[in-house]
Amino acid sequence: MFIERKFPNTRLRRLRRNNNLIDLVSETSLTSNDLIQPIFIKENLNGSEEIETMPNIFRYGIEKALKEIEDIKNSGINSIAVFPVIDTANKDSKGSQAANSNNFVSTAIKAIKKEFPDIILIADVALDPYTDHGHDGVIINNEVDNDETIKILIEQSLILADSGADIIAPSDMMDGRIGLIRNALEQNSYKNTILLSYAAKFNSKFYGPFRDAVGSASSLGKSSKYSYQMSSKNKEEALHEVAMDINEGADIIMVKPAMPYLDIIHLIKDSFKIPTFAYQVSGEYSMLKLSINKGWLESEVMLESLISIKRAGADAIFSYAAKEISMEMQNK
Ligand code: PBG
């Protein structure tokens, strides 16, 4: 495919002489449609509170969350991912609240969809907001038990679908859960609920600030999620994870984190050619944002980071900077 190109017949700089030319031949574009804003909503909170390890990001009480979602919509973003922060009093070893149809997240989703029926609402499926040990599943004989966890995830999924979530996103990394959740959705008349599987989710220290944000960091302590999340050393295994989840009924698959895993995003998009999302996670966001706030890096690094994720092959990106970047793009 490559033809030999030689100077001076070819001067690649001809196409870089000004920004209009550069834009005209650019291979990648990023628009507000490609961005998803994660939002933390906290049970029993009035107003909002800052998250220390995530500059400019807040936990919102439900009323304040509705105002924030209005802002997100006005920035041009149409998709949000809600992450609940649950009262310690409502956590237990089995994450029982996840399977309570009147739990906080289901009330919040109903309130959001009532006010913003068109917004695409993505809800996480995993037990970590609800467990007092901070793991994504139930612990039996000192292990996060795959099959017992899935039983609860199915109930959680049906509740989220029933509350009005457009997309449910299992981020728990249990084996076989996509097929069983898909089956339960089909059997309970939620045939249009979209499954976004966190298929290639790596065991990453870049999740640190998120765990502070939802309060699972202190519960987890020194405990790690290595027995269910993938090792950062593996690439072929990511292909198997994705292949299984597609076969089991996933509509969209996710790679997470994003920036340290651009090779995985590229490989998966190239191999499977299905909608592929990437999550620029809390640690990726915080390291950039802190440096920007300190004046160590220029603010354009945020957009550059998102473009790199898009260029790698992501169709859409979860990013804490989504609203801000979308506003900047609108004002241009
Ligand atoms: C947990 C979950 C995590 C994130 C999204 N869902 C953290 C984890 O697996 O411990 C991380 C998001 C981020 O770091 O921004 N099910």
Atom of ligand 1 nearest to the CA of 172: 16
Atom of ligand 1 nearest to the CA of 283: 14
Considering only CA atoms, which of 170, 324, 169, 319 is closest in space to residue 259?
319
Q: What is the pLDDT of residue 217?
A: 87
Taking residues 40-47, report their average pLDDT.
98
Taking residues 271-295, report their average pLDDT.
98
Whether 1 shows a pLDDT value over 80: the answer reads no
Alpha carbon 48 to chain centroid, angstroms: 21
Convert the pLDDT of each residue in 2-18 to its tens digit.
889 999 999 999 999 99
CA 172 to ligand 1 centroid distance, Å = 9
Q: What is the pLDDT of residue 160?
A: 98
130 Cβ closer than 6 Å to some ligand 1 atom: no
The DSSP code for 11 is: -
Q: Provide the residue type at 201 as one letter.
A: K
Residue nearest to atom 5 of ligand 1 (CA): 171
Catalytic option among 64, 201, 225, 289: 201
Q: What is the pLDDT of residue 272?
A: 98
Atom of ligand 1 nearest to the CA of 220: 10
CA 2 to ligand 1 centroid distance, Å = 42
Indicate if 225 belongs to the active site: no
Indicate if 191 belongs to the active site: no
Atom of ligand 1 nearest to the CA of 136: 16
Q: What percent of the chain has pLDDT over 70?
A: 100
Pairing type for strands 252-256 and 194-201 reads parallel
* DSSP characters over 180-206: HHHHHHHHTT-TT-EEEEEEEEB--GG
Contact 317, 36 (CB under 8 A): yes
Q: What is the pLDDT of residue 218?
A: 83
Contact 227, 143 (CB under 8 A): yes
Contact 56, 218 (CB under 8 A): no
Confidence of residue 331 (pLDDT cuts 50, 70, 90): confident
CA 210 to ligand 1 centroid distance, Å = 6
CA 282 to ligand 1 centroid distance, Å = 8
Q: What is the pLDDT of residue 280?
A: 98
Catalytic option among 64, 225, 256, 323: 256
Report phi then psi at 148, rounded to 5.
-70, -35
* pTM summary value: 0.97
Convert the pLDDT of each residue in 206-265 to its tens digit.
999 999 999 888 889 999 999 999 999 999 999 999 999 999 999 999 999 999 999 999
Mutate to test the pocket of ligand 1, among 40, 203, 281 (most ligand atoms within 8 A of CB): 281
- Whole-angstrom distance between the N-terminal and C-terminal Cα of the chain? 37
Q: What is the pLDDT of residue 216?
A: 86
CA 236 to ligand 1 centroid distance, Å = 22
Atom of ligand 1 nearest to the CA of 126: 16
Residue nearest to atom 2 of ligand 1 (CA): 171
Convert the pLDDT of each residue in 140-176 to its tens digit.
999 999 999 999 999 999 999 999 999 999 999 999 9
Task: Quote the mean pLDDT of the chain.
Answer: 97
210 Cβ closer than 6 Å to some ligand 1 atom: yes
